[in-house]
Chains A and B, each alone.
Chain A
């Protein structure tokens, strides 16, 4: 009998540990994201998770006992309990949970496990969602550990219900955003050169964030701010702004992480480009929804500038991509010429990237104009728009240079990364060279001169200070015109490649049985 037990398969019955029939858990969990299921299974067995839950429980008990001992009717104890509870929750959801996600992503990448995952039916985005879901499950668990404490603080009249709810919502938003950020920096560690930086930046960033929040929570500033905010009329405006910002950061982080996990020939660009085009819609939509007529133009002007700079950052990546469509992309372009034309700026490729940026400038200007009320005539708003226009001209010039530079570098991912490094470096060099020349020839750097004309910061500042906007328009327009003329063939070629690929695809589909 013992020998049969030692070797269960010898008995002809499989051991009970490989289940024969689905249990209720199996059936229910079939609908969940597999990554979520696995992360939870791993967490339950892992030490870190168990330890943090116990520590959180312990702290809760300590705080509860301390609060009970210092009860006062005005609710001071309740507020203290709430603050202590938030101070416990913050490092858990802003540091422990994201770092767990970071760690799990790192383990997958290091061992090549992620390749096994990518060979399954799980798409990269689904894997990343799974990680976020797992973070949310952990968040829920930590909140429920702290729930008795929060309930006590409410019952002791330390804080009102809206404050508690909004605080928790903020904590959840922070948790998801921090986790998305952590996962994306873990994914970047695909490149060995970035590994050390990613490690350090993530641990430092998350550590700093939770440190600041703990400070704010312990001192009571956090709860004071939240309870002030929920009573203000601007509450909805701020809340929506925070949600939009967090949503943008999460989407961007997921797109970045996805781009490291996708097959090399898969489309990695369109997501970023669509996100970029969505940002002005959200931003100006927010202005139209919340800003009063007096503040509308101020918001519009400031946001236009911010969105322009954001667009330039995106464009640095767009113009340093590979040149042509990958075989996979060529086989998946729209076959109808009109559709191919419309889709072209959003498809991968550095020439289409330049086109996309130009399109974005038009889109941004159009939406800003749409949002513009014209009721305020403040000097700085007009100046801001002038600055934005000149910045756009400089951006076109520098990005065109970036595209050219990328073309001189070897094909492949390495070349893309090199381009993304060299473009800002050459920008810096052009900024510094005239300054150094000034320093050596004249012994001082004093006045702006034409040697600095490629330096947008100084030149724009100069135009603004001397109020020479009238003189600046013409050269700016000429430069833009020349740049566009020089790139006309490139831009047309960028669209033509897509249309031609679409036509070839349609041809092949027709000739195939």
Chain B
């Protein structure tokens, strides 16, 4: 009954042709939002499914409040709310019936069930849609319903696999607010996403994995500090960014470039004189620089500087 809310210990899981997860370990506490980041095929879904008792590892274990998911899957299931990356509702049920059914399945009865269903629906903004068929909902409404279903049994740990994919910007902001509210209520949330700026805004800590291995983990501040020796530089140029790109690629100390139209970001290893020299040479070579600033590394920089982009 003791121990961190979620502890992944030396987890390994292989499929016939790939080693999806290798020797992965991390932990998280109640009230924490942990971002789970990695390139496609890094093993995020695999890890989350094992933690949610839906798959078994080759070796290693996952503990929910000290209880092993391999030894006590039933007890662990009651504490976990797992939202998979796909949502498939039942045909011929409306939203109310859908939630009511899962509430029954979680053993809720009588007034308590009605209250739970109503409050969860209200929390997820579904109150006005009780009689909508659960199939054929828009992506965002589907995600809301999926989250509502996940919250019904008041789990201590939420495992959310790309919950925000396909949401419109407003829905995304609302969703973020919902998650923050849940974390404030003491739940732990492990969330995977490819939308890094968004994760950066709500997560207390991140775990970055690549090819099944953990590359970095810790609170965002800690990681920022650890990659701080390579400060990030953000700049904007007029006209063609390709010229600036070519120049930067040859310059010592410049890390992986992230080019977005006229904007370029890159980690830079070097002191201030070196940076001044870089800017001077850049301008001298004919690049028309209109913005040039040092920034703190954000999650995207962390991601780019720690992962190699190797897919599997």
From A19-27, A177-185, A294-302, the one touching the partner chain is A19-27
Q: A15-B127, A22-B111, A265-B56 are in contact. Are A119 and B101 (CB under 8 A)?
A: no
Q: A122-B105, A263-B53 are in contact. Are A18 and B77 (CB under 8 A)?
A: no
A511 within 8 A of B: no
B107 within 8 A of A: yes
1/0 per residue, CB under 8 A from A, across B43-84: the answer is 000000000111110000100000010111110011010101
Contacting residues of chain B (78-111) with chain A, CB-CB under 8 angstroms: 78, 80, 82, 84, 86, 88-93, 96-97, 101-102, 104-107, 109-111
Chain A residues with CB under 8 Å of B52's CB are 119
Contacting residues of chain A (22-69) with chain B, CB-CB under 8 angstroms: 22, 26-27, 30, 34, 37-38, 41-43, 45-46
Identify which of B84, B92, B102, B105 contacts A45 (C-beta below 8 A): B92
Bound CA–CA A285/B145 (angstroms):
54
Identify which of B53, B68, B111 contacts A21 (C-beta below 8 A): B111
B304 within 8 A of A: no
Q: A41-B93, A45-B92 are in contact. Are A30 and B109 (CB under 8 A)?
A: yes
B114 within 8 A of A: yes
Identify which of B53, B101, B107, B122 contacts A121 (C-beta below 8 A): B107
- In the complex the two chains form, is B80's CB within 8 Å of A119's CB? yes
- In the complex the two chains form, is B88's CB within 8 Å of A112's CB? yes
Chain A residues with CB under 8 Å of B107's CB are 120-121
Chain B residues with CB under 8 Å of A488's CB are none
Contacting residues of chain A (302-341) with chain B, CB-CB under 8 angstroms: 326-328, 331
Minimum C-beta distance from A48 to chain B (A): 10
Q: A9-B128, A120-B102 are in contact. Are A327 and B88 (CB under 8 A)?
A: no
Chain B residues with CB under 8 Å of A264's CB are 55-56
Q: A18-B117, A22-B114, A119-B77 are in contact. Are A327 and B92 (CB under 8 A)?
A: no
Q: A9-B127, A27-B110, A119-B53 are in contact. Are A20 and B90 (CB under 8 A)?
A: no
Chain A residues with CB under 8 Å of B96's CB are 17-18
Identify which of B56, B73, B97, B121 contacts A38 (C-beta below 8 A): B97
B131 within 8 A of A: yes
1/0 per residue, CB under 8 A from B, across A72-115: the answer is 00000000000000000000000000000000000100111101
A379 within 8 A of B: no
Identify which of A14, A22, A111 contacts B127 (C-beta below 8 A): A14
Bound CA–CA A161/B234 (angstroms):
90
Bound CA–CA A329/B86 (angstroms):
31
Bound CA–CA A265/B54 (angstroms):
11
- In the complex the two chains form, is B149's CB within 8 Å of A20's CB? no
Minimum C-beta distance from B161 to chain A (A): 11
B118 within 8 A of A: yes
- In the complex the two chains form, is B101's CB within 8 Å of A38's CB? yes
Bound CA–CA A26/B70 (angstroms):
36
Most buried by B among A26, A41, A116, A119: A119
Bound CA–CA A123/B68 (angstroms):
19
- In the complex the two chains form, is B130's CB within 8 Å of A17's CB? yes
Chain A residues with CB under 8 Å of B118's CB are 14, 18-20
Bound CA–CA A328/B96 (angstroms):
36
Minimum C-beta distance from B142 to chain A (A): 12
Contacting residues of chain A (104-160) with chain B, CB-CB under 8 angstroms: 107, 110-113, 115-122
Bound CA–CA A265/B56 (angstroms):
8
A266 within 8 A of B: yes
Interface size of A by Cβ–Cβ distance < 8 Å? 43
Contacting residues of chain A (3-18) with chain B, CB-CB under 8 angstroms: 7-9, 14-15, 17-18
- In the complex the two chains form, is B73's CB within 8 Å of A112's CB? no
Closest residue on chain B to residue A44 by CB atoms: B92
Minimum C-beta distance from A418 to chain B (A): 12
Q: A18-B127, A27-B110 are in contact. Are A37 and B56 (CB under 8 A)?
A: no
Most buried by A among B61, B89, B121, B130: B130
- In the complex the two chains form, is B93's CB within 8 Å of A42's CB? yes
- In the complex the two chains form, is B91's CB within 8 Å of A42's CB? yes
Closest residue on chain A to residue B122 by CB atoms: A14
Bound CA–CA A27/B77 (angstroms):
26
Bound CA–CA A41/B68 (angstroms):
37
Minimum C-beta distance from B96 to chain A (A): 6
- In the complex the two chains form, is B101's CB within 8 Å of A34's CB? yes
- In the complex the two chains form, is A115's CB within 8 Å of B84's CB? yes
Interface size of B by Cβ–Cβ distance < 8 Å? 47
Bound CA–CA A113/B88 (angstroms):
6
Chain A residues with CB under 8 Å of B71's CB are 265, 327-328, 331
Closest residue on chain B to residue A9 by CB atoms: B127
- In the complex the two chains form, is A117's CB within 8 Å of B93's CB? no
Q: A18-B118, A42-B92, A327-B70 are in contact. Are A37 and B104 (CB under 8 A)?
A: yes
Bound CA–CA A46/B97 (angstroms):
14
- In the complex the two chains form, is B110's CB within 8 Å of A42's CB? no
Chain B residues with CB under 8 Å of A331's CB are 71-72
Minimum C-beta distance from A422 to chain B (A): 18
Closest residue on chain B to residue A411 by CB atoms: B58
- In the complex the two chains form, is B127's CB within 8 Å of A34's CB? no
- In the complex the two chains form, is A8's CB within 8 Å of B88's CB? no
Closest residue on chain A to residue B80 by CB atoms: A119
Closest residue on chain B to residue A38 by CB atoms: B101
Chain A residues with CB under 8 Å of B211's CB are none
Minimum C-beta distance from B102 to chain A (A): 7
Chain B residues with CB under 8 Å of A9's CB are 122, 127-128
Q: A38-B93, A328-B71 are in contact. Are A22 and B110 (CB under 8 A)?
A: yes
Identify which of A18, A45, A120, A263 contacts B130 (C-beta below 8 A): A18
Bound CA–CA A15/B104 (angstroms):
22
- In the complex the two chains form, is A107's CB within 8 Å of B106's CB? no
Identify which of A19, A27, A37, A112 contacts B101 (C-beta below 8 A): A37
Chain B residues with CB under 8 Å of A18's CB are 96, 114, 117-118, 121, 127, 130
Bound CA–CA A115/B54 (angstroms):
7
Closest residue on chain A to residue B98 by CB atoms: A38
Minimum C-beta distance from B2 to chain A (A): 11
B144 within 8 A of A: no
Bound CA–CA A189/B109 (angstroms):
33
Closest residue on chain B to residue A328 by CB atoms: B71
Most buried by B among A7, A107, A121: A121
Bound CA–CA A110/B88 (angstroms):
9
Q: A17-B96, A17-B131, A42-B93 are in contact. Are A120 and B105 (CB under 8 A)?
A: yes
- In the complex the two chains form, is B114's CB within 8 Å of A20's CB? yes
Minimum C-beta distance from A17 to chain B (A): 3
Minimum C-beta distance from A495 to chain B (A): 22
Chain B residues with CB under 8 Å of A22's CB are 110-111, 114
Q: A20-B118, A119-B77, A120-B106 are in contact. Are A38 and B53 (CB under 8 A)?
A: no
Pick the 5 closest A-B CB pairs, nearest first.
A111-B88, A17-B130, A34-B104, A120-B105, A45-B92
Binding site for A on B (CB under 8 A): 52-56, 61, 68, 70-74, 77-78, 80, 82, 84, 86, 88-93, 96-97, 101-102, 104-107, 109-111, 113-114, 117-118, 121-122, 127-128, 130-131, 149, 153
Q: A41-B92, A41-B101, A119-B54 are in contact. List 6 more A-B contacts (CB 8 A).
A: A18-B121, A21-B111, A22-B114, A26-B113, A37-B101, A265-B56
Contact sample, A vs B, 20 pairs, CB 8 Å cutoff:
A7-B128, A8-B128, A14-B122, A18-B114, A18-B130, A22-B111, A26-B110, A30-B110, A37-B104, A38-B97, A41-B101, A112-B84, A112-B86, A115-B84, A120-B77, A120-B102, A120-B107, A121-B107, A263-B53, A328-B70
